[in-house]
Amino acid sequence: MSERKRSRKMRGSNTYGHGIKGRRGKGRKGGKGHAGLGKHHKSFAIKNPGLLWGKKGFTSHHPKEMISTINVSELNEKIDEYVEKKIALLDGDRYEIDLSMLGVNKLLGRGKVDKKIRVKVKYASKIAVEKIEEAGGEVINA
């Protein structure tokens, strides 16, 4: 009776008796991470240029200012309410308001204005300034 060599025992099997995941560090898939991109994974690097190397965009090291807005129509509708709450003042027929007291730092131009309003605000759109001035008001950038 002849004895078979052990090296012939598991030929034809992918796993050699170690299961599906057996003895795989990262060796059965060509390396870990970006390994082999200059050698056996070179075609992946060529198909995806810029995917793995280099910087993208820029980093801002300055805090961003949050912009909260209000439209001139909303200001026109609620100005009497603001006078009652003492956020705005009524001087004759002209209203005066500082929008920073409302937590608003930009005035936008949607809607209509029919009251004379003197607005103090950090930012204002051109259309908002035009509409306020047409109604006899004034916009002060603060």
> pLDDT value at position 5?
60
Q: Tell me which amino acid residue 111 is.
A: G
Higher pLDDT, 62 or 20: 62
pLDDT in tens, 107-118: 999 999 999 999
Collapsed DSSP state (helix, strand, coil) of residue 50: coil
Q: Yes or no: say if 52 and 45 are a contact pair by the CB < 8 Å rule.
A: yes
Tell me, yes or no, if the pTM score tops 0.75: no
> pLDDT value at position 138?
94
Q: Yes or no: say if 142 and 121 are a contact pair by the CB < 8 Å rule.
A: yes
Q: Is the pLDDT reported for residue 56 higher than 90?
A: no
Residue 1 confidence class, pLDDT cut points 50, 70, 90: low
Q: Yes or no: say if 74 and 34 are a contact pair by the CB < 8 Å rule.
A: no
pLDDT in tens, 7-28: 667 777 777 777 777 666 677 6
> pLDDT value at position 50?
74
Higher pLDDT, 19 or 140: 140
All domains in the chain, ordered by first residue: 9-55 (no CATH), 69-141 (3.100.10.10)
Closest C-alpha among 103, 122, 114 to residue 80: 114
Q: Is the pLDDT reported for residue 94 higher than 90?
A: yes
